[in-house]
A and B are shown apart, each in its own frame.
Chain A
Amino acid sequence: MSPTQRHELLVRLHDDAKLSITTLAAMMDVDPADVEATIAELEASGIIRGYCAVINWDRIERDRVRGIIEVKVAPQREVGFDAVARRIYQYPEVKDVTLVSGSYDLQVIVEGQRIQEVARFVSERLATIEHVQSTTTHFVLKTYKVDGVVLDDDGGEQRLVISP
């Protein structure tokens, strides 16, 4: 598969990981065996790290709180921010960690069942990690769009069932 086709395959899987190999092959006008081999190779090389569903958790009656935490870090000699990031992402409560430009360094997303639980995690675990200078916590109130998928859309089909 050409680099362009590999890229197209990744984009399509990212949009809908449930697409079958036969469907992907038909959409890309290639042999199913090609798609299967390329996916296997992408998985083995660690480019594809997993497959997951996009869920609107707001619609699920279950205690779930998300905090977005801005973390300021003093970078360390030779390892920069990586060593601190590593210490943070080991916690299972931590869902995402990204290094960002701007007024803080690491953006950390933490999940818990109650606000107190997330708050305690931040003050007792995150803030106490060596080289972490400060944290600012924002609790998520409502999610509108996740990874390209709009969650608060009630659109549905507007078109006539048959038109010329």
Chain B
Amino acid sequence: MNALRNRLAPLARSLPPSGIRRFFDMASTMKDVISLGVGEPDFVTPWHIRESGLHALERGVTSYTANAGIFELRQAIARYLNGYGTFYHPETEILVTVGGSEAIDLAIRVLAGPGDEVLIAEPAYVSYRPLVHLSGATPVSVPLRPENGFRLDANDVRARITPRTKALILCNPNNPTGSVLNRAQLESIAQAVRDADIFVVVDEIYAELTYGQSHVSLPSLPGMQERTVLIGGLSKAYAMTGWRLGYAAAPDFILHAMLTVHQYTILCAPAAAQVAGIEALAHGGPAVLAMVAEYDARRHLITRGLNELGLSCALPQGAFYAFPDIRSTGLSSEQFAEELLVRGRVAVVPGNVFGDQGEGFVRCSYATSIGQIEQALERIRMMLSAGRD
């Protein structure tokens, strides 16, 4: 058996399991756990969107669609992105994918390969690094510094540029830190990227979940659309994670390469989900606003609660994650999360699984009810006070 295992492809064998896996396995076996570890909305998809998916099935929309996705959906995505000041041609510059995850994979595959370096602003979504690894390129971490509110600093980008640097990957609004880059910060990053003449993959899946300010889309900045792959999707804003519906928008020469890989590996995103996506983009606005208002109230509640417990936590500006500093407890992120799970029955995700820069922090998702957040805070309080005795 071991001999056979050793004959698996070296790349597959060298791919480490996600750091989230261990906590998932632990938490899954335990009863009465309150989870702040979930990276998806607690709302179900708004009914009018589900209903349009059902209607699509009733009408027999069960065949393949165009590889790039139903044209009407690509048009709707182009219109939506236009609202952020970008202009994508729905025929040649938009690709509907199986979740944002597929779009990230495709972007990395077509932009980078063996011998290249890809900069990743970390802490970051857990798949960027392994996907760069799978492409054969070398991931290079660009630290998001706690003292800088986990916002990417253009100087940190410049300092890591080499002749081999091919692309920069960043997530804005950020998972796991909840930080958001404003226009000025994005402009200085864009300048660094243009100076180095590299590509950018920007994951804006949380764009709609930006609080108290308007989301600025990186490719809307001068000279950026031509070198950027924009990743988006309906999962987070419209509470549609299980439908697996995402997209990439990019200049036609990049998008064409992505489409070629996509048509061999995936063929097309699920047809009924695409129809539901058209409905979501056409009429989902009020439901999104209502969900954002709920997340907004919860982010205040959890941030105030964590700070009152002595776990310093900046008010998240986007997504649905609080990222408290747990260094005052003297524990590592993993130790804290494990202790909280075993003794406090609260699941959080240790910050270091999102990259070394996340050490000393944990990710608390507030995509859960007010009652659950309050109970979780109470359990954290009990764990901390027991630790001090």
Query: Contacts of B23 on A, CB cut-off 8 Å?
Result: 162
Q: Report whether B370 and A162 are in contact in the complex, using a CB–CB cutoff of 8 Å.
A: no
Given the complex of chains A and B, what is the CA–CA distance between A92 and B117 in angstroms? Answer: 77
Q: Are B347 and A164 in contact (CB under 8 A)?
A: no
The contact string, 1 if C-beta is below 8 Å from chain A, for chain B 114-138, is 0000000000011100000000000
Given A160-B24, A164-B125, A26:B304 Cβ within 8 A = yes
Interface stretch of the complex, out of B36-44, B160-168, B223-231, B247-255:
B36-44
B35 adjacent to chain A (CB < 8 Å)? yes
The residue from B42, B125, B300, B374 contacting A29, defined by CB atoms under 8 A apart = B300
Q: In the complex, how many residues of chain B place their beta carbon closer than 8 angstroms to a beta carbon of chain A?
A: 28
A34 on interface, CB distance cutoff 8 Å: no
Expressed in whole angstroms, the minimum distance between the Cβ of A112 and any Cβ of chain B is: 34
B349 and A162: CB pair below 8 A?
yes
Classify chain A: how many residues form its interface, as a range: 10 to 19
* A23 beta carbon closer than 8 Å to chain B: yes
B193 CB to nearest A CB, Å: 26
Contacts between the two chains (Cβ within 8 Å), count: 57
Q: Contact string, A1-38, partner B, CB cutoff 8 A, digits 1/0?
A: 00000000000100010010001001111000000000
What's the Cα separation between A70 and B137 when bound, in Å?
73
Q: Is B331 an interface residue (CB 8 A)?
A: no
Minimum distance in angstroms from A68 CB to a CB of chain B: 25
Chosen A-B contacts, 15 in total, with CB atoms closer than 8 Å, are A12-B297, A19-B370, A26-B305, A27-B298, A27-B301, A27-B370, A159-B38, A160-B24, A160-B38, A161-B35, A163-B20, A163-B37, A163-B38, A164-B125, A164-B175
The 3 A-B residue pairs whose C-beta atoms are closest, nearest first, are A162-B37, A27-B297, A26-B304
Q: A160-B38, A162-B347 are in contact. List 12 more A-B contacts (CB 8 A).
A: A26-B301, A27-B297, A27-B300, A27-B370, A29-B300, A159-B38, A161-B24, A161-B38, A162-B24, A163-B40, A164-B18, A164-B20
